[in-house]
Chains A and B, each alone.
Chain A
Amino acid sequence: MDKTWNNKAWFMVLPVLLLVAFSALIPLMTVVNYSVQDTFGSNEFFWAGTAWYEEVLESDRFWNSMGRNLLFSAIILGIEIPLGIFIALNMPRKGWGVPVCLVLMALPLLIPWNVVGTIWQVFGRIDIGLLGYTLSALGLDYNYVSDPFDAWVTVIVMDVWHWTSLVVLLCYAGLVSIPDAYYQAAKIDGASRWAIFRYIQLPKMNRVLLIAVLLRFMDSFMIYTEPFVVTGGGPGNTTTFLSIDLVKLAIGEFNLGEAAAMSIVYFLIVLLLSWVFYTVMTSYDAER
Chain B
Amino acid sequence: MARIDLNHIRHAYMPDPKSDADYALKEVHHTFEDGGAYALLGPSGCGKTTLLNIISGLLHASHGELLFDGKDVTRLSTQERNIAQVFQFPVIYDTMTVYDNLAFPLRNRGVPEADVARKVHETLEMIGLADWAKRRARGLTADQKQKISLGRGLVRSDVNAILFDEPLTVIDPHMKWVLRSQLKQLHRRFGYTMVYVTHDQTEALTFAEKVVVMYDGEIVQIGTPAELFERPKHTFVGYFIGSPGMNVMPVEIDGRNARLGGQVIVLPGAPKAKAGGSTELGIRPEYVRLGSEGMPVSVSKVEDIGRHKVVRASLEGREIAAILGEDESIPADPKIVFDPAGINIYANSWRVETGG
Contacts and interface: CB of A to CB of B under 8 A. Distances in A.
A190 interface: yes
Q: Which of A184, A185, A288 has the most CB of B within 10 A?
A: A185
Interface string B77-105: 11100011101110101111000000011
B136 A288 contact: yes
B79 A287 contact: no
A184 B57 CA distance: 10
A206 to B, nearest CB: 9
Interface in A171-222: 179, 181-182, 184-185, 187-192, 195, 199-200, 203
B78 A188 contact: yes
A189 B105 contact: yes
B251 to A, nearest CB: 47
Contact of B87 (A185, A195, A200, A284): A185
B135 A181 contact: no
B79 A203 contact: no
Interface in B134-177: 135-136, 138-139, 149, 152-153
Interface in A22-64: none
Nearest to A186: B91
A136 B53 CA distance: 58
Contacts of B91: 181-182, 184-185
Contact of A188 (B88, B89, B105, B139): B105
Contacts of A199: 93, 95-96, 104
Contacts of A190: 79, 105, 108-109
A203 B94 contact: yes
A187 B79 contact: yes
Given A181-B91, A190-B79, 5 more contacts: A187-B77, A188-B85, A192-B108, A195-B108, A288-B138
Interface of B: 53, 56-58, 77-79, 83-85, 87-89, 91, 93-96, 104-105, 108-109, 135-136, 138-139, 149, 152-153
13 contacts: A179-B89, A181-B91, A182-B91, A185-B85, A185-B91, A187-B57, A188-B83, A188-B105, A189-B104, A189-B108, A190-B105, A199-B104, A203-B93
